Amino acid sequence: MEEENKVVESAPEAAKEPENVAAHEVSKMNEEEIQLEKADAEYTATNIQVLEGLEAVRKRPGMYIGTTASAGLHHLVWEIVDNAIDEALAGYCTEVHVSINEGDTITVTDNGRGIPVDLVAKSGLSGVETVYTILHAGGKFGEGGGYKVSGGLHGVGASVVNALSEWLEVYVHKDGGIYYIRFENGGHPVERLKRIGDCNDTGTIVTFKPDPKIFVESTTYEYTVIRDRLRQVAYLNRGIKITVEDKRHGQEQKESFRYEGGIKEYVEWINKNKEPLFPEVIYCEGSEPIELASGTISHVYAEVALQYNAEYSANVFSFCNNVHTHEGGTHEEGFRLAVTRVINAYARTQKMLKDNEDNLAYSDIVEGLTVIISVKHPNPQFEGQTKTKLGNFEVRKILSQIVGTQLERFLNENPKLARQIIEKIVNAANARLAARKAREEVRRKGGLDLATLPGKLADCSSKKPEECELYIVEGNSAGGSAKEGRNRETQAILPLRGKILNVEKAQSKRIFANAEIGNMITAIGGGIDPEFDVSKIRYHKIVIMTDADVDGSHIRVLLLTFFYRFMRPLIEQGYIYIAQPPLYKVEYHQKQYYAYTDEQLELIKKQLNLKPGYPFQRYKGLGEMDASQLWETTMDPKQRKMLRVSLDDAIQAEQVFTDLMGDNVDPRKEFIHANAKFVKNLDI
Ligand code: 0RA
């Protein structure tokens, strides 16, 4: 073992050409003591620099992982998984296993080549130590070698995970040996990489414990969050087997994902509760060479899968390097150009669209269409407010060409399906024209006129959207209390009468004619999709306030569905909130105590030392509260609780909304049962 321990204690001469000298050979060299000391000195110097780098990450974790809340905690997992996926995309790894262990540590195992263990010339450290301690070291290995695509949102590197971990351990199986290193306290190596045994397989096993000093809010991992993301990664990277396992006591579970059909299966899965127009999934794929700044030639790979269903909403989801590009970008633009061009040309040659008729619009083409666009790019540029918009200009043309030629071929080879598609699109175009007419009608009657705010709206006096809040309130009586109790300067109230229209089931013509919806559109002021303009909205907080019962949650889902379909940026940019009225009131010695959960009620009873049977009020609806109570418990910015609705996983949301609002009744029933959980996890 003694001999093996010298892996990284090699002489500087050897370090100059590490790619030619295997680590174990280096270790066997008979080195002069003096050289060893020199290497040690260099190691110490590197080490100081390295630790300064990692310290910077610990000082400002938000700069690297966005947040130290739950999303950041999970980001650590994506980071390590990305490395394994890169190894799979390079063609050397077929399986990735992720386990959540007792104590909320994470282990990621892959059967790739194993992270290099020999010296890296530039760093003077072993490959493993380089990857886990030098910021942005990941890319250096990939260049010239395999298919290295990580970057963008993830791709900050494994060293960031190490920096934010209480401890991190790596085992590498490679060249017949098992190598081990452990880091503590944000990336300090306990010992240098050493060979601890023999093996006849290859791969990398990483385990880390997020540092509770960094993740102060919580260090508890959510199985479903990890499961959902890994399922998505498996869909986006066909053939890779990804397993997720929860080993924590009492919640043991395990699921495996492997999709030979990749994104073709992904669109089928998204559409599983929708009625398809026809079962076929249209699939296009291709790659184009691209020159990197370094002069080396790499490739951009693109694939698109689409399936029509009998519904009306458009669902275009795009990805670059497995990152969901919420804000779209050049890949979506290329797709849009291609389908608009090809569909119109085909419709005209088939005389399904006459010479004197207007072109079919992109919005007509994507009505009832589910699309996955996935691009792998060696040097992605992410732009936009949330850095989820692909900016590489060359991608537009690549997508346009690939989709253009292959969609055209599909239409020519499948004339029956092509006819069905064009008929559906022509229908959508007719409905759009009818809707425009209906809208103009409503406008003429004063309904959608932005200049005339709805009479039911009690507007606030401030005109600064940043400080203005719109409360959408269920029922007229609660609306009355809210109007009376509010802060008139910044809080506006829009009461809703009964249930709003289910937009999931209605064609746009009916949607625009609906008075409640018209009122909301006018009050919010940004118009609606496809012309929705978030910069014009009149309130930066739009608060849904409904009763804490089944009807209330139904109305809430109807409203969320409406926002999701017609004003999606409101959700994407975090402008939608759910008010949290209390469930109980306890009166004791002329003082009121409010409880928002059953647990809180128990706590209050205990703290006040109340006898069993002491009366308390259970609020059945907002209407039971008077104006001052409603203000105090639910609307006062200093005291209220609100949930911000986020769109972490638009695809999950897509399924939730189709399940809840579509024709398929069973999933809706299921939801009513799971309602409590949904309300708790409003991160849809
Ligand atoms: C670069 C080169 C080689 C392997 C890897 C990277 C690698 C990195 C990670 C990160 C997680 N799992 C990984 N597996 C492999 C191969 C070097 C060689 O053997 O020639």
Residue 173 near ligand 1, beta carbon < 6 Å: no
373/428: higher pLDDT: 373
Catalytic residue among 82, 327, 332, 474: 474
* The predicted structure's pLDDT at residue 654: 66
Looking at the predicted structure, is the pLDDT value of residue 650 above 80? no
* The predicted structure's pLDDT at residue 28: 40
Q: Is 551 a catalytic residue?
A: yes
Q: Which of 46-60, 352-366, 461-475 has the lowest mean pLDDT?
A: 46-60
Residue 112 near ligand 1, beta carbon < 6 Å: yes
* The predicted structure's pLDDT at residue 446: 52
- Give the Cα separation of 498 and 475 in Å (integer): 6
Sheet of 642-644, strands arranged across? 491-496, 469-474, 541-545, 576-579, 642-644
The closest of 26, 409, 430 to 195, measured between CA atoms, is 26
Tokens at residue 92, please? 């050397």
pLDDT tens across 266-290, in order? 999 999 888 889 999 999 999 999 9
Q: Which is the closest atom of ligand 1 to the Cα of 93?
A: 14
Most confident of 14-28, 328-342, 374-388: 328-342
Q: Is 36 helix (H, G, I), strand (E, B) or coil?
A: helix
- Give the Cα separation of 312 and 662 in Å (integer): 11
CB-based contact 165:108 (threshold 8 Å): no
The closest of 205, 231, 402 to 300, measured between CA atoms, is 402
Residue 87 near ligand 1, beta carbon < 6 Å: yes
Tokens at residue 145, please? 């070698």
Other CB atoms closer than 10 Å to residue 354's CB: what's the count?
Answer: 8
Summarize the confidence of residues 484-488 as an average pLDDT. 95
Catalytic residue among 394, 549, 587, 626: 549
* The predicted structure's pLDDT at residue 660: 59
> What's the whole-number average pLDDT of the chain?
85
Cα angle vertex 129, ends 123, 132, to 5°? 110
Angle between helix 330-349 and helix 394-413 axes, rounded to 10 deg = 30
Summarize the confidence of residues 598-610 as an average pLDDT. 91
Q: Which is the closest atom of ligand 1 to the Cα of 206?
A: 11
Looking at the predicted structure, is the pLDDT value of residue 27 above 60? no
* The predicted structure's pLDDT at residue 531: 79
pLDDT category at 682 given cuts 50, 70, 90 is very low
- For residue 308, give every residue at least 6 positions away whose Cβ sits within 8 Å of its Cβ, in sequence order, or none: 276, 277, 278, 368, 369, 370, 420, 421, 424
What DSSP string runs through 459-522? --S---GGG-EEEEEESHHHHHHHHHHS-TTTEEEEEE-SPPP-TTTS-HHHHHH-HHHHHHHH
pLDDT category at 645 given cuts 50, 70, 90 is confident
Residue 116 near ligand 1, beta carbon < 6 Å: yes
CB-based contact 519:498 (threshold 8 Å): no
Which residues are bridge partners to 370 per DSSP? 307, 315
Looking at the predicted structure, is the pLDDT value of residue 12 above 70? no
* The predicted structure's pLDDT at residue 122: 82
* The predicted structure's pLDDT at residue 3: 35
DSSP 8-state symbol, 635: I
Q: Is 634 helix (H, G, I), strand (E, B) or coil?
A: helix
Cα angle vertex 188, ends 187, 194, to 5°? 100
Q: How far is the CA of 297 from the centre of ligand 1 (A)?
A: 21
* The predicted structure's pLDDT at residue 35: 57
Residue 113 near ligand 1, beta carbon < 6 Å: yes
137/64: higher pLDDT: 64
Tokens at residue 25, please? 């050979």
Looking at the predicted structure, is the pLDDT value of residue 177 above 70? yes
Share of the chain above pLDDT 90, in %: 59
Looking at the predicted structure, is the pLDDT value of residue 304 above 80? yes
pLDDT category at 475 given cuts 50, 70, 90 is confident
Q: How far is the CA of 219 from the centre of ligand 1 (A)?
A: 29
Give the closest residue (by CA) to ligand 1 atom 20: 116
- Give the Cα separation of 308 and 310 in Å (integer): 7
Q: Which of 90-94, 112-116, 463-467, 624-628 has the lowest mean pLDDT?
A: 624-628
pLDDT category at 387 given cuts 50, 70, 90 is confident
Residue 84 near ligand 1, beta carbon < 6 Å: yes
* The predicted structure's pLDDT at residue 73: 97
- For residue 539, give every residue at least 6 positions away whose Cβ sits within 8 Å of its Cβ, in sequence order, or none: 465, 468, 469, 470, 492, 524, 575
671/276: higher pLDDT: 276
**For residue 431, what are the CA distances in angstroms to 74, 238, 420, 531, 606?**
43, 38, 17, 17, 60
Summarize the confidence of residues 640-665 as an average pLDDT. 66
> What's the N-to-C CA distance of the chain in angstroms?
53
Q: Which is the closest atom of ligand 1 to the Cα of 112?
A: 14
548/287: higher pLDDT: 287
Q: Is 683 a catalytic residue?
A: no
Q: How far is the CA of 115 from the centre of ligand 1 (A)?
A: 4
Q: Which is the closest atom of ligand 1 to the Cα of 175?
A: 19
pLDDT category at 376 given cuts 50, 70, 90 is very high
Catalytic residue among 31, 551, 649, 659: 551
CB-based contact 150:83 (threshold 8 Å): yes
Other CB atoms closer than 10 Å to residue 248's CB: what's the count?
Answer: 17
Residue 115 near ligand 1, beta carbon < 6 Å: yes
77/565: higher pLDDT: 77
Q: How far is the CA of 562 from the centre of ligand 1 (A)?
A: 47
Best mutation site among 86, 115, 119, 205 for ligand 1 pocket (most ligand atoms within 8 Å of CB): 115
Q: How far is the CA of 174 from the centre of ligand 1 (A)?
A: 10
Summarize the confidence of residues 623-634 as an average pLDDT. 90
Q: Is 572 a catalytic residue?
A: no
Residue 88 near ligand 1, beta carbon < 6 Å: no
Residue 625 near ligand 1, beta carbon < 6 Å: no
Looking at the predicted structure, is the pLDDT value of residue 346 above 90? yes
* The predicted structure's pLDDT at residue 140: 39
Residue 124 near ligand 1, beta carbon < 6 Å: no
Catalytic residue among 110, 327, 459, 547: 547
pLDDT category at 363 given cuts 50, 70, 90 is very high
pLDDT tens across 412-458, in order? 999 999 999 999 999 989 888 877 776 676 666 654 555 577 788 99
Q: Is 248 helix (H, G, I), strand (E, B) or coil?
A: coil
Residue 141 near ligand 1, beta carbon < 6 Å: yes
Q: How far is the CA of 40 from the centre of ligand 1 (A)?
A: 25
* The predicted structure's pLDDT at residue 442: 62
118/274: higher pLDDT: 118
417/624: higher pLDDT: 417
Give the closest residue (by CA) to ligand 1 atom 17: 116
Summarize the confidence of residues 620-635 as an average pLDDT. 89
Q: Is 118 a catalytic residue?
A: no
pLDDT tens across 305-330, in order? 999 998 888 899 999 999 999 899 99
pLDDT category at 372 given cuts 50, 70, 90 is very high
Tokens at residue 28, please? 């066997």
Q: How far is the CA of 494 from the centre of ligand 1 (A)?
A: 58
Give the closest residue (by CA) to ligand 1 atom 1: 141
* The predicted structure's pLDDT at residue 666: 55
pLDDT category at 19 given cuts 50, 70, 90 is very low
Summarize the confidence of residues 616-621 as an average pLDDT. 86
